[in-house]
C-alpha cells in the first residue's frame, strides 16, 4: 500500500494600501502631510494615479508576486502600519502602508 502525504502549503497574504504619483517630490510632500495628520485615504483619492486611489488606495489582500518587485518587498518585509516610501517602480513613486500579514 502506498502512503500519501498531504502537505499544507502556507501562502502569505497581506492587506495594504498605496498612493501612486509621478515624482518622488510629490510622494515626499504627501508623506509629510500624512505625518502631520492628514488622512492617507483622502490623499489617495485626490492624488493617486492608480485606479485603487478611488478606494482610498486600498489594494485589498495581496499575495507575494502580485505586485511589482519593489512594492512586494515593502508589503512583505517592512514594518506594519508605517508609511513607507517613496518607492520607485516602472509606474512612478509609491507610498505604501501595510495593515497586516498572515
pLDDT in tens, 16-61: 999 999 999 999 999 999 999 999 999 999 999 999 999 999 999 9
SS3 95: strand
Which domains does the chain possess? 14-101 (3.10.50.40)
Check whether 1 has a pLDDT greater than 80: no
Q: What is the rounded CA–CA span in Å between residue 24 and residue 52?
A: 19
**Are the CB atoms for 86 and 73 separated by under 8 Å?**
no
> Who's near 100: CB < 8 A, 6+ residues apart?
14, 15, 80
pTM over 0.85: yes
Sign, CA torsion 22/27/53/76:
positive
Q: Which three cell numbers stand for residue 97?
A: 502602508
Amino acid at each position: 500500500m502506498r502512503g500519501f502525504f498531504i502537505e499544507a502549503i502556507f501562502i502569505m497574504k497581506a492587506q495594504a494600501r498605496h498612493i501612486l504619483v509621478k515624482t518622488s517630490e510629490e510622494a515626499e510632500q504627501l508623506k509629510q502631510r500624512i505625518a502631520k495628520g492628514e488622512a492617507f485615504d483622502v490623499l489617495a483619492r485626490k492624488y493617486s494615479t492608480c485606479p485603487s486611489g478611488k478606494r482610498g488606495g486600498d489594494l485589498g489582500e495581496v499575495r507575494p508576486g502580485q505586485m511589482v518587485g519593489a512594492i512586494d518587498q515593502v508589503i512583505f518585509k517592512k514594518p506594519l502600519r508605517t508609511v513607507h516610501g517613496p518607492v520607485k517602480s516602472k509606474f512612478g513613486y509609491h507610498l505604501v502602508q501595510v495593515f497586516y500579514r498572515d
